Amino acid sequence: MALDENMVIPRHVALILDGNGRWAKKRGLPRTMGHKEGCVTVEKTVEIAARMGIEYLTVYGFSTENWKRPMEEVGALMQLFRYYMVRLLKVASANNVRVKMIGDRTRFAQDIIDGIGRLESETRDNTGLTFIIAVNYGGRDEIRRAAARLAADCAQGKRNPEEITEEVFASYLDTAGIPDPDLLIRTSGELRLSNYLLWQLAYTEIYVTDCLWPDFDREELERAIVQYNKRDRRYGGVK
């Protein structure tokens, strides 16, 4: 599938990467192999999105709820994260991509925290796609943390509660300075937000595909963009 030259490319695409475990199970493989293949798909998608002219790509890498998974799986995910942070630095450098992490990184091991810092600092001056990875992230937790920082600023007299607007509150979120997603793509056919970008997705167009994440490719992304172009975005108003 090739996009029509008149198609509007969404400025910001958010992804929920679902189906790694099911992809592995269908092939008689351990779940960790599904996650590994899913990381490869992330790399490819970053390159594709950068070439298509998408300005912001946000992926749900690891949620605050994922810690509830079996210890063995969580440990394997942390090892994958360590490995692919190094890989991602090469991909980002080759494609002029700026990397940003959102979520509460304090729960990770120090070497992972240091790796995140290196990814962000070494890609800060890149001017192409901004690739945002949500790690140890939950939409409710993000709003809670933002509210706590805002409340502290109000208590210290830095903010006047009567002057708090949606824009002011948004400036305390992890995504401060980043436009809200235009398009959310969720793979594997699940019909829920899974505590993802709850504030930011207020008027985002949602596209769900039965494709499992490791099988996601350029054609699937193009299908989503075609559907996005068929939507009538009114933001609560009328035309």
Provide the annotated active-site residues: 18, 66
Contact between 178 and 11 (Cβ < 8 Å): no
Closest alpha carbon to 12 in 137, 202, 183: 183
Place of tokens 């890498």: 61
Query: Residue 213's CB: how many other CB atoms inside 10 A?
Result: 28
Kind plus residue range of the DSSP H or E element containing 93: helix 71-94
How far is the C-alpha of 235 from the C-alpha of 238, rounded, in Å? 8
For 14, 75, 111, 139, 205, the CA distances from 198, given in Å and listed in that order, are 12, 27, 29, 5, 13
Phi, then psi, of 8 in degrees rounded to 5: -85, 125
CA 59 from centre of chain: 2
Phi, then psi, of 54 in degrees rounded to 5: -65, 135
Place of tokens 């992490």: 101
